[in-house]
């Protein structure tokens, strides 16, 4: 299973990657 903390970390990581992609492209 997974914890809420892991889910939060994954979400923030995804939004960070999305931000980088939007910045680069």
Percent of the chain whose pLDDT exceeds 90: 24
Tally of structural domains, the chain: 1
If you average pLDDT over residues 2-23, what whole number do you get? 88
pLDDT at 14 over 70: yes
Going by C-alpha positions, the residue among 24, 2, 25 that lies closest to residue 11 is: 2
pLDDT at 3 over 60: yes
Q: What span, in angstroms and rounded, lies between the C-alpha atoms of 6 and 11?
A: 9
- 3 or 15, which is more confident: 15
End-to-end CA, the chain: 35
Q: Please tell me the pTM assigned to this model.
A: 0.46
pLDDT at 4 over 70: yes
Q: What span, in angstroms and rounded, lies between the C-alpha atoms of 4 and 10?
A: 10
């Amino acid at each position: 299973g997974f914890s809420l903390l892991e889910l939060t970390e994954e979400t923030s990581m995804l939004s960070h990657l999305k931000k980088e992609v939007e910045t680069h492209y």
